[in-house]
Copies of this chain bind each other. A is one copy, B any other.
């Protein structure tokens, strides 16, 4: 199958001197659902940030969605990022925008019609149980609600690739299950999903590929039984 994510011998050393990733090589095919697990500080978020070109590798090559992130021009980054939906570990909601505006913003940048935005955003918010919070500002909602807004923003554009860095860390187990079920549903329609999680329960319930990272190295790469 066609690869949507390719890491070729990628290493990352932060300016502070921390070696976050060591010689990572990795393929994720179109349509896969990948869990990334590992202890705190292992380098999971660093890997995710690399996929978004928030960080660039110190060594090696990263290819995502057909873009070579190491050689791409700065002006092509926005177009590239629009092909991806991301849930950040620290949410990254804009505090001066309401929940609705935060989600709508991700659509506005893609140049779709206002009419479509007006229909799509409430639909997604409703899907994640946020309908009542549409007009609240991020600091006025609970941690779990904020996390779901971040998720809503990642889903709203129907991206080909969804990257989620612990999208259920602040959410109760029942809702977490529903959310992964939703992602599973989306995955079935062909969207590739990469999800970092600490919840072994979820990983066990959904039988997908699992990549384990420890101290910046891949220590586990187990395919799900669907493969």
Q: How many residues of A contact B (CB 8 A)?
A: 33
Cross-interface CB contact of A201 among B14, B89, B201, cutoff 8 Å: B201
Give per-residue flags for A186-227: 1 if the beta carbon is below 8 A from chain B beta carbons, else 0: 000000000000111100000000000000000000000000
| In the complex, residue of chain B having the shortest beta-carbon distance to the beta carbon of A200 | B173
**A60 near B: Cβ within 8 Å?**
no
**A171 near B: Cβ within 8 Å?**
yes
Q: Which of A1-54 contact B (CB under 8 A)?
A: 14, 16, 37-41, 44-45
Q: Which of A148-168 contact B (CB under 8 A)?
A: 148, 165-166
Chain A, interface SS category = loop
Chain B residues with Cβ below 8 Å from A40 are 142-145, 148, 170-172, 175
Question: Can you offer 14 A-B residue contacts whose CB atoms are under 8 A?
Answer: A16-B136, A39-B175, A40-B142, A40-B145, A40-B170, A41-B145, A45-B142, A143-B165, A143-B166, A166-B170, A171-B198, A172-B198, A173-B198, A173-B199
> Which residues of A does B touch, CB under 8 Å?
14, 16, 37-41, 44-45, 89-90, 136, 140-145, 148, 165-166, 169-176, 198-201
